[in-house]
A = this chain, B = another copy of it.
Amino acid sequence: MAIVGASANEPVRGWLARQLLFGYEGTLYPVNPRAAEVNGLKAYPTVRDIPGPVDYAIFNIPARFVPQALEDCAYKRVKLVHLYTAGFSETGKEEGKKLEARVAAIAREGGIRLIGPNCLGLYYPNQGITFNAGFAREPGNLALLSQSGSAANRFISLANQRQVYFSKGISFGNAIDLEAADYMEYFAQDPETEIIACYLEGMRDGKRFLNAVRQCMVSKPVIIMKAGLTEGGAGAAASHTASLGGSRAVWEALFNQTGVIRSGSLEEMVDISLAWLFLKRPLGRRVGVVGRGGGIGVIATDTCELAGLKVPAFLPGTRQQFESIIPEVGAGTRNPVESDRGIAGMAEFFAKGLPIVDADPNIDFIMVHISVDIYGGRQASIEQEVVKAADSLVVTSQSLRKPVVVVLYPGERLEPIAAVLKARERLVAAKIPVFNTIQAAAVAVSKLIGYRERRSCA
């Protein structure tokens, strides 16, 4: 890998530093005509001067130097170049558009494929390639296709925090050569990828993209967040990645014809990916809700039903069993069922209560919610108590026939937030999906179920 424009001034945050920190195992060649070495590696004035073969180059140089550097790459038979460089058609200026066309022509003639320009390029943890050294090195099965670098940074970082790991992530910007359809075709046949999340502003070849999405969906779900659908958003997208977003109607048609999972935010795409990766068994829409707080339970019920789930009343036998283990007067047992205990008693309540819900034939899956925000600060050891409750959920859920999803509501104070992060780690490591809000959980699970329903009808 060559880093063209490897900067000696960025020993920690530069493109070369990132690969070194992340642990790229291949050979790295800094290219810089004004340095003898960068980050302790011998630097070369141009790509032509590199002694060994070069497969891949990242360009971190001003736009005007790109044509010459690309010709050097063609000479060295470099297969793929990532243009981090901006200043092309997205500027809206004639000069930028002309330069972009020239760059595309040089690449085409030289047999080079291009990622970008104006993008962060490739995150491939299995090979130690990244655009952010803070990302997880652990590989996984989620692929990200993102036209935007900042959206990719946020999405990958949020997903990593939930222990959701990636096959590949790609930020592809203006897409003057490889574009959305190419990447989608790649992911369709990539054995490392099981599910694909997309942040898209626009594309050139809608028909080929549509076919590639269909090809993917033979075996892999596709989630798409389309940005730039409003008037202002379309204008912002044009000046961001020079994207012609396409009309709302065209996108509606794509969503309807393919049955892809449509998402309204990056956070929601993370939630849906988590649900898909963690809830492998078929699911019905009838949820048994377990938690504490009558009003929070009513809100939970509305939220679930508005998202397309059902919260049916438990069978009388189920309610009776709960009444026998809940001495508290006034605690609800209809569904949601209310734990009568504070956070300290949750572990015991889950051990006794979840099997009761599991046995109710009108319920397809269980949602447990803990209002960590409310408990936090009233006990000395909120973290300890929440982790204890989480451990009980891990053990108890192993003996259940029905899947369990967990909501740990962190609130806005640091202590309960820290407790949530700790407890979440334990749950997610045991393959129990954890969400921040009942809304997030309900929407993610409902969209997952909807996708499966559409597929089984197709």
The answer for the CA separation of A63 and B300 in the assembled complex, in Å, is: 28
List residues 143-177 of chain A with CB under 8 A from any CB of chain B. Answer: 146-154, 157-158, 161-162
Known contacts A239-B332, A305-B232; is A299 also within 8 Å of B227 by CB? Answer: yes
Nearest Cβ in chain B — how far from A45, in angstroms?
23
B residues in contact with A450, CB < 8 Å:
none
The A373-387 residues at the B interface (CB cut-off 8 A) are 373-374, 377-378
Answer whether residue A358 sits at the interface, using C-beta atoms and an 8 A cutoff.
no
Give the Cβ gap from A394 to chain B, nearest Cβ, in Å: 20
Residues of B within 8 A of A161 (CB): 411-413
A16 to chain B, nearest CB (A): 16
Q: Which of the residues B228, B328, B413 comes within 8 Å of A298, measured between beta carbons?
A: B228
Question: Which of B152, B310, B374 contacts A157, CB < 8 Å?
Answer: B374
A 301-332 binary contact with B (CB < 8 Å = 1; else 0): 11011100011110000000000000011111
Interface pair A230/B305, CB less than 8 Å apart: yes
Size bin of chain A's contact surface: 35 or more
Contact between A412 and B292, CB atoms less than 8 A apart: no
**Beta-carbon contacts under 8 Å, A189-207 to B:** 199, 201
A148 pairs with B294, CB closer than 8 A:
yes
B374 and A411: CB pair below 8 A? no
- CB of A293 within 8 Å of the partner chain: yes
Determine the distance from Cα of A334 to Cα of B239 in the docked complex, in whole angstroms. Answer: 7
CB A283 to nearest CB in B, in angstroms, measures: 17
Of A63, A90, A149, A227, most B-chain CB atoms within 10 Å: A227
Q: Does A237 contact B (CB under 8 A)?
A: yes
Which residues on the B side are within 8 Å of A296 (C-beta)? 148, 150-151, 154
Q: Does any Cβ of B come within 8 Å of A400's Cβ?
A: no
- In the complex, residue of chain B having the shortest beta-carbon distance to the beta carbon of A323: B91
Question: Across the two chains, which residue of chain B brings its CB closest to A424?
Answer: B412
Question: What's the least CB distance linking A146 to chain B, in Å?
Answer: 7
Q: Do residues A330 and B414 form an inter-chain contact, with CB atoms below 8 A? A: no
Assess the B87–A330 pair: CB atoms within 8 A: yes
Complex Cα spacing A336 to B238, Å: 12
Q: In the complex, what distance in Å separates the CA atom of A153 from the CA atom of B413?
A: 14
A134 at the interface (CB under 8 A from B): yes
A421 within 8 A of B: yes
A355 contacts partner chain B, Cβ-Cβ < 8 Å: no
Q: Are A151 and B299 in contact (CB under 8 A)?
A: yes
- Add 10 more A-B contacts to A149-B294, A158-B373, A199-B295 (CB < 8 A): A133-B378, A150-B371, A154-B296, A154-B371, A235-B313, A236-B335, A240-B294, A265-B299, A412-B421, A417-B417
Among all A-B residue pairs, the 5 with the closest Cβ atoms: A148-B295, A86-B330, A150-B293, A151-B295, A232-B311
